[in-house]
Amino acid sequence: MSARPTARGRVVVVGGGAVGLAFAAACADEVTVLEGGPPRPAADPDGLDIRVFALSEGTRAFLREIDAWQRMPPDRIAPVARMEVFGDDGASRLEFAAPPGRPLAWIAEGNRMARAIEASARERGAMIRANSALRGIAARPGGARAELEDGTVVEADLLVGADGADSRVRRELGLAAHAKRYPETAVVAHFRCEKPHAGTARQWFRPDGILAWLPLPGDRISIVWSARDGLADELAALEPAILAERVRDAGGAALGDLAPDSEVARFPLRLVRVPRIAVPGAVLVGDAAHGVHPLAGQGVNLGFQDAAGLARTLDSRSPLERPGDFGLLRRHERSRRADVDAMQFVTDRLEWLFGIDARLAGLARNAGLRAVDATPWAKRLLAAHAMR
Ligand SMILES: Cc1cc2nc3c(=O)[nH]c(=O)nc-3n(C[C@H](O)[C@H](O)[C@H](O)COP(=O)(O)OP(=O)(O)OC[C@H]3O[C@@H](n4cnc5c(N)ncnc54)[C@H](O)[C@@H]3O)c2cc1C
């Protein structure tokens, strides 16, 4: 980030997930991060983390800027060279190829990514306090404070709520959130595959949900099956080898036989709209500020853009402004609105369209996919969004 224009302020971040830590690394002010969970273990296990994320070009550029990308082990990051999206009639499909010299996206493990970001945040001077049991927070025009159960009080000019989808900060600040539970649960697991995946990500819009196969390093893939709730229960209860057969068949055996390579995890899915993310002295970032369906793999990418944008806004303040000034935070809020609204709208509509069982809707969505595929400008637009 650029040289400081004015005196350093003090910022307290509640929540040390990937987004809170990335903001701490990017922010030029003095930052304390209060994380409720335990400290990160000294090293990550050899096995692949069950949480993997599709990271966009914009995210990669931001993580490079804060010296975090360089700390992620390159052999654990899988570039996505190509993406194929299928309708449910066996014929409709969309294909995206990466532009020359650059992948469409990257797939990285959650634990290694967060470790790299945390190391950068510490190196850049952030204080990170794990096991922080929050007693309460307060924000007002002149500043903010967070109080912990052990009696510690952290005073700051600005409080940043990065405490995830169930944000307590959001609740305590009185910021309204409109949540809609999707009738789907994401079933996540990794598999070894018989045929090389060649860096291709695949997604099937099926009558019973949306299935994504993401390439991992080597001969492995990670799947996210956003399955109607009854099906999610059924899939999660299957013997691993039987689940592998179900996943193989649902994907038309595109990579031959699959062998289970991880536990099976489940995540309930929600749309969370937060019309206002700022009050004088406090602001929300990441999942605390917006929940989106994972079908576009964009939640943490949006969160990193929040983190980068907020750090930039603070950095560009005039010598007369303090980090918690409402005008400054409103500027940030406005700058993020369109991006978040667009992502929530597109993912919510797609989920709805592909959630309808009627045959007519099936015909319409398959025709829609074919039409987009045959329309170069529409495809370019979608691909540009996927790669931002
Ligand atoms: C199945 C699935 C697949 C996904 N795939 C993708 C993908 O491919 N690409 C993508 O971009 N996004 C993806 N997402 C979205 C992504 O997981 C989230 O957007 C991202 O994890 C949000 O990060 P965060 O740091 O905002 O919140 P979190 O990761 O929830 O972190 C919040 C942190 O705050 C801490 N905390 C909570 N409460 C308190 C408290 N009171 N005091 C102190 N600390 C507290 C927590 O311990 C945690 O460390 C996916 C989501 C799902 C469910």
Instruction: Give 197-220 pLDDT, tens digit per residue.
Output: 999 999 898 888 889 999 999 999
- Is the minimum distance from the CB of 301 to ligand 1 under 6 angstroms? yes
Q: What is the CA radius of gyration of the chain?
A: 21
pLDDT on residue 374: 63
Cα angle 235-44-79, degrees, rounded to a multiple of 5: 70
Beta bridge partners of 191: 221, 260
pLDDT on residue 2: 45
pLDDT on residue 94: 79
pTM of the model: 0.92
Task: Tell me which of 3.30.1280.10, 3.40.50.1370, 3.50.50.60, 3.40.50.11540 is the CATH number of domain 10-47+110-179+271-349.
Answer: 3.50.50.60
Question: How many CB atoms lie under 10 A from the CB of residue 344?
Answer: 19
Give me the residue spans of the domains in the chain.
10-47+110-179+271-349, 74-109+183-269+361-387
C-alpha to C-alpha distance for 128 and 20, rounded to whole angstroms: 10
- Is the minimum distance from the CB of 303 to ligand 1 under 6 angstroms? yes
C-alpha to C-alpha distance for 88 and 294, rounded to whole angstroms: 19
Per-residue pLDDT averaged across 84-111, rounded?
A: 85
Q: Tell how strand 282-284 and strand 158-161 pair up.
A: parallel
Pocket test for ligand 1, best of 287, 336, 388 (most atoms within 8 A of CB): 287
- Is the minimum distance from the CB of 224 to ligand 1 under 6 angstroms? yes
Instruction: Give 231-287 pLDDT, tens digit per residue.
Output: 999 999 999 999 999 999 999 999 999 999 999 999 999 999 999 999 999 999 999
Per the model's pLDDT, the better-predicted residue between 25 and 378 turns out to be 25
Superfamily of domain 74-109+183-269+361-387: D-Amino Acid Oxidase, subunit A, domain 2 (3.30.9.10)
Beta bridge partners of 224: 188, 212
pLDDT band at residue 353 using 50, 70 and 90 as cut-offs: low
- Is the minimum distance from the CB of 163 to ligand 1 under 6 angstroms? yes
Q: Is the pLDDT of residue 72 over 80?
A: yes
Q: Is the pLDDT of residue 350 over 90?
A: no
Which bin fits 161, alpha (ψ -120 to 50), beta or left (φ > 0)? Answer: beta
CA atoms within 13 A on the CB side of 51: 12
Q: Tell how strand 282-284 and strand 220-228 pair up.
A: unpaired
Distance 18 CA to ligand 1 centre (A): 7
Distance of CA 36 to the CA centre of its chain: 20
pLDDT on residue 3: 47
Measured by CA distance, the residue closest to atom 14 of ligand 1 is 299
Per-residue pLDDT averaged across 346-365, rounded?
A: 63
Closest atom of ligand 1 relative to the 132 alpha carbon: 43
Q: Is the pLDDT of residue 12 over 90?
A: yes
Is 63 strand, coil or helix?
helix
Per-residue pLDDT averaged across 79-107, rounded?
A: 84
pLDDT on residue 134: 97
Closest atom of ligand 1 relative to the 301 alpha carbon: 11
Concatenate the DSSP letters of all residues of 165-223 into one string.
TT-HHHHHTT---EEEEEEEEEEEEEEEESS--TTEEEEEEETTEEEEEEE-STTEEEE
- Is the minimum distance from the CB of 134 to ligand 1 under 6 angstroms? yes
Choose among 22, 7, 97: nearest CA to 53: 22
Measured by CA distance, the residue closest to atom 42 of ligand 1 is 36
C-alpha to C-alpha distance for 211 and 345, rounded to whole angstroms: 20
C-alpha to C-alpha distance for 314 and 4, rounded to whole angstroms: 10
CB 287 within 8 A of CB 19: yes
- 74-109+183-269+361-387: same fold as 10-47+110-179+271-349? no
H-helix or E-strand containing 12?
Answer: strand 10-14
Q: Tell how strand 52-55 and strand 265-273 pair up.
A: unpaired
Is 67 strand, coil or helix?
coil
